[in-house]
Structure 1
């Protein structure tokens, strides 16, 4: 089980550059906690919200709309923007979808750091969630797709079907406006991902208007790469990305 403390929202004040980190569908802030702590140790102000309907009971996600998830990260972004001169946004899976929408709605987003961002699902049955939600409330979990043994992202043991339907509504909205995104992007994608298809990252790279896109392939991690064997690569490369974007010296590796 994930550390209960890490499943709660996390905020830490640092310098004038902020980073908002969003966890994924049915997951919890635990998936982003170590990354956020590493960023804070390097001097950044960080915020990791707990998305509505998450880290409580899976039934809550069946009465939560995708706009509730977005409104949560949007509020966090606005708060950080008041505190910081520039704000970057990081997201895992659905958190990546929300990060993309923030960049669509807020042209002042300084940059995106995406880990296996989602615009679709590997499971073809997920497309039927709009009908299945009237038949079954939940199916088997999509959480904890992690190669490294003994690691837990604090995901639900079941996947709420109505929540999946909301996820598809979010994806449709985000995909329709990807061309509005112009900020620099670093995109981490796992070579083996059992949850999100590679076509999601392909679509993002193809459809955004950003002139600076860096792709990093993670060869030794599954979907929740922020907790997997390649997490140090994510931490190090994201710090390099932030340093390059802010003209700050990159911190030395531990």
Structure 2
């Protein structure tokens, strides 16, 4: 069981027409995504919001996991939705967006669309070049959590950043960036004008390197990194639902 209240996985079986996989980010938990998931449930969609391995407990436990563990969990949740629903979308925040991009690369047309909020595929921080070596002697560093403009709001992420897990995240970035051209589904990227965790170059890379002909960019003017809990959260939710409805309508038109 998660040690952090509100960090539990969440699943809802709604419509068999639409399913949405929702993925949280690095050192976070479903806590940061639950309001978004609740909006999707209110729209009648089936939803899977898994707790990624090593998250929601302690940073020490997270150091015993890696990107293939995290990916395996979202892949399993996606397959559940694909068995249940006619049309399935993947939504992710930060590293959750990275995992969703990998799902899109691997599953192709089985995924109808991708919605990303401040996705990460790289960093400009110079120290990342030595993280693999450093992680062997230093288990953790200062946190990169709670980058939220809205006063009094927390995502309940870890108080430390686990370096072995971070070194694995770097490997995930390289894997995803190599295959970005394989992402051919409609893509919606929402990114914050002020993000102190993920540099704006990340969204620029995704927007320019995915293989999709249907790419939409929305700039979030009033939020920091954890935008799903910030001032622009309603905007994210509205745009994502509109995106789903549009893609559904366009797919239905193709079938006529």
TM-score range for the pair, normalised by the shorter chain length: over 0.9
Consecutive unaligned residues in structure 2, runs of 5 or more: 251-256
3-state DSSP class of the match of 1:214? strand
2:98 counterpart residue number: 97
Take 2:245 and 2:32, find their aligned partners in 1: how far apart are those partners?
23
Residues 123 and 195 in structure 1, CA contact (< 8 A), matched pair in contact too: no
Shift of 1:247: 2.2
Structure 2 length as normaliser, TM-score? 0.93
Task: Provide the rounded CA distance (Å) in 2 between the counterparts of 1:54 and 1:118.
Answer: 18
| Distance (whole Å) between structure 2 residues aligned to residue 84 and residue 153 of structure 1 | 30
Secondary structure of the residue that 1:234 maps to in structure 2?
A: helix
Partner residue, 1:237: 239
* Residue 32 (structure 2) pairs with residue 31 (structure 1): yes
- TM-superposed deviation, 1:5: 4.8
Q: Is the 8 A contact 2:4 2:56 kept in 1?
A: no
* 120, 123, 128: which one aligns with 2:122: 120
SS at match of 2:21: strand
Q: How far apart, CA to CA, are the structure 2 residues paired with 1:31 and 1:123?
A: 24
- Assess if the C-alpha contact under 8 Å between 2:4 and 2:57 holds in 1: no
Tell me what 2:253 maps to. none
Contact 1:22–1:99, Cα closer than 8 Å, also in 2:
yes
Contact 2:90 2:115 in 1 (8 A): yes
Deviation at 1:206, TM superposition (A): 1.2
| Aligned match of 2:6 | 6
> How much does 1:37 deviate?
0.4
Q: Deviations over 1:131-170 (max 9, x none)?
A: 1112210001111111111111120000001111000000
Match among 174, 183, 190 for residue 188 of structure 1: 190
User: C-alpha offsets along residues 91-127 of structure 1, whole Å, 9 cap, x if unaligned?
Assistant: 0000000000000000111100000000123533233
Compute the displacement of 1:27 (Å). Answer: 0.3
Structure 1 length-normalised TM: 0.94
User: Does the 8 Å CA contact 1:122/1:196 hold for their aligned counterparts?
Assistant: no
Q: Please show how residues 13-162 of structure 1 align to structure 2 within 5 Å.
A: 13-15=13-15, 16-107=17-108, 108-162=110-164
Tell me, yes or no, if the aligned pair for 1:121 and 1:195 is still in contact at 8 Å: no
CA displacement 1:18-59 (0-9 Å, x = unmatched) = 000000000000111000000110110011000000000100
1:39-93, CA deviations, whole angstroms, 9 ceiling, x for partnerless residues? 1101100110000000001001111011000000000000110010111000000
Q: Distance in 1 between matches of 2:98 and 2:155?
A: 18
**Runs of 4+ more than 2 Å apart:** 3-6, 121-124
Q: Report how many residues are paired.
A: 246
Counterpart CA distance in 2 for 1:226 and 1:22 is 12
- Write the distance in 2 (CA, Å) between the matches of 1:61 and 1:241: 33
Task: State how far apart, in whole Å, the 1-side matches of 2:31 and 2:209 are.
Answer: 30
